Structure 1
């Protein structure tokens, strides 16, 4: 299954350890907030650091990104320990989950990238307040594209309300 097979369907729920090792459950549509779920290849790499920091900064600076308007969740196949170091170093302000067994990657149809050299593609999903997958962006080589994509979608979702 590829990730675009989810468009128009209810997003899969997830329960994974967050960067503190505690269980984190994401149930799309449960709290009436849209969800930005983004998969990144490798904690601490230059592209992933750029991407996660752009998400952190957007939450701090842009009204449509405020935590009472949207839930932002990042995840990769990195261990809890590696995620914790990454979150602390970059002062991330949103949940970062550890998908070491690839359960979320499989549920969302996110595969390896760059001819299998990276553990996952860089994919960002937009899930609306009802829990429906509205769109996704796969831009493994362009970490900066993701915040622009999300901002456009958050503005569109806000206008729908």
Structure 2
């Protein structure tokens, strides 16, 4: 997927962040026994972030590897709950969208700024059913590459599980 990240091969950090309704959303890696893709995106409503968020939404219903795996998708940005709520409603997002205004999850996942520090980072973590980070894809510009990277990781995960 991308360059070596310090979390690869380690248990993914747990976190609690507000969802679109402001209620705490608890993520405990591996607790549901399904793989998870946690993606951090720079800013709700921008072109690239809209494409990425909608790409994950569509993949859950259109891509066989997403449907067959039962993968959980979680989107996180530093935007406010109100901003994320409006963004998720406008685009009929079907998975948890979380607000990380304080940056606690970004810090736990070592998500750095992108574009030479000019943008929040866009990083996707593929976490296996046991809660271990297996792949990381980091690209601010290649927003559609994040969905492709998770597709590849799901295929590799499925093949290694057989």
Number of residues paired by the alignment? 159
Deviates more, 1:109-118 or 1:128-137: 109-118
Report deviation, 1:159.
Answer: 2.3
CA RMSD in angstroms comes to: 1.6
Report deviation, 1:150.
Answer: 0.6
TM-score, scaled relative to structure 1: 0.94
- Pair 5,68 (structure 1): closer, same or farther in 2 beyond 3 Å: closer
| Residue pair 1:34, 1:69 contacting (<8 A) in 2 also | yes
User: Is 1:138 the equivalent of 2:119?
Assistant: no
Report deviation, 1:135.
Answer: 1.0
Secondary structure of the 1:136 match is strand
User: Is 1:85 the equivalent of 2:71?
Assistant: no
Secondary structure of the 1:4 match is coil
Secondary structure of the 2:29 match is coil
Q: Deviations over 1:2-40 (max 9, x none)?
A: x81111100000100011111101100111111100000
Q: Report the equivalent of 1:22.
A: 23
TM-score, scaled relative to structure 2: 0.93
Structure 1 CA distance, aligned partners of 2:122 and 2:61?
22
Q: Report the equivalent of 1:104.
A: 105
Structure 2 CA distance, aligned partners of 1:160 and 1:68?
13
Report deviation, 1:60.
Answer: 1.1
1:106-125 equivalent positions in 2, closer than 5 A: 106-118=107-119, 120-125=120-125
| Residue pair 1:59, 1:67 contacting (<8 A) in 2 also | no
Report deviation, 1:94.
Answer: 0.4
Runs of 4+ in 1 over 6 A off after TM superposition: none
